[in-house]
Amino acid sequence: MLDIQRLEKSFGAKHAVRGVSFRLEKGTVLGFLGPNGAGKSTTMRMIAGVLEPDGGDALIDGKSILTDRREAQRALGYLPEGAPLYEDMTPPEFLVFMASARGMKGAARKDGVERAIADARISTVCDQRIGSLSKGYRRRVGLAGAILHDPPVLLLDEPTDGLDPNQKRAVRALIARMAPNKAILISTHTLTEVPAMCTRAIVIDRGIVVADDTPDTLVKRSEDGTLEGAFMRLTDQAEAETA
């Protein structure tokens, strides 16, 4: 479903992503972990076609983001970091715009928007402008925008960041409901969420994949039996190696 091949990106002298590769199958929820500045968002932005990679490629449902960008983007739902939205629109207006921009028309657009509103549980705020919504609702509107064309691949950049525990649980439940039919890549630095949400985890540090395993196996590799311990060990190790 999602095939990442040796993605590379530099910003000036900073080599942000150095040859990241992995594959993701349908039914997998992959946690994409790493310290701030490790290259998580940069990698996701390259997969989404927002940023041009310096090298490598990403195949979304078999379509290259480099040579067949628009087709690849059609197969993808993307929630950018911080869920940026058009604040002057109401959630339904925003979703209709997203659907139209994706070439959906008539009944298909209406159904897609209605289903996304129901799935993201935002029907109670449909009359308000997005600018006046709470952070939790905004995140859910962003999610609705990412899932409204029912894409086979979902890319969610910190979907639960800054949400309260109830909102986090709602987002997690939504992801769990969608998981069987999609390949989902979730970036996060909230480690406690990983075992609850993900079936697989990749740890990235300084632009390199340092671990790729199930959350359980990662925990076993740590000294203190927590994911946090494993995370610290892995990213410290990478630090020692590059130093």
Partner 1 sequence: MMSWLKEQFGGFTATYRRELGAYFATPMAYVFLAVFLLALGLFTWEASRFFDTGSADLAPFFVWHPWLYMIFLPALAMRLWADERTAGTDELLLSLPLGMPALVLGKLFAAWTVAGVGLALTAPMWVTVNLLGSSDNAAIALTYMVSFLMAGAYLSIGAAISALTGSQVTAFVISVVIAFVFTAAGWPLVLSGVQSVFGTGTAELVASFSFLTQFEGAQRGVLELRAVVFFLGFTAFWTVLNGLWAARQRLG
Site for partner 1, rule CB under 8 A: 9, 11, 45, 48-52, 69-71, 73-74, 76, 78, 80-82, 84-89, 93, 97-98, 100-103, 129, 145
Q: Compare residues 100 and 192 and give the one whose CB is closer to partner 1.
A: 100
Report the nearest approach of partner 1 to the CB of residue 33 (Å): 21
Which residue, 25 or 87, is less far from partner 1 as judged by CB? 87
Residues 6 or more apart whose CB falls under 8 angstroms from that of 179 comprise 27, 29, 199
> What does the alpha-carbon distance between residue 180 and residue 27 come to, in Å, rounded to a whole number?
4
Taking the complex as a whole, the smallest distance from the CB of residue 179 to partner 1 amounts, in Å, to 21
Nearest to 97 by CA among 82, 83, 112: 112
- Do the Cβ atoms of 54 and 223 come closer than 8 Å? no
User: What is the nearest approach in angstroms of partner 1 to the Cβ of residue 81?
Assistant: 8
- Nearer Cβ to partner 1 (7/230): 7
Please state the closest distance from residue 234 (CB atom) to partner 1, in A.
27
For the chain, the residue count is 243
Tokens 């009359």, residue located: 127
Closest CA to 178 of 166, 188, 190, 186: 186
Instruction: Specify the residue, 65 or 218, whose C-beta has the smaller distance to partner 1.
Output: 65
Measured from the CB atom, the residue of 22 and 94 that comes closer to partner 1 is 94
Report residue 31 as tokens.
Answer: 């946690």
Give dist(CA 82, CA 143) in Å, integer.
Answer: 11
Rounded least distance, CB 129 to partner 1, Å: 8
User: Looking at beta carbons only, is 4 or 201 nearer to partner 1?
Assistant: 4
Which among 28, 21, 27, 33 has a CA at the least distance from the CA of 59? 21
Element (H, E) at 221: none
Q: How far is the CB of 92 from partner 1 (least distance, A)?
A: 12
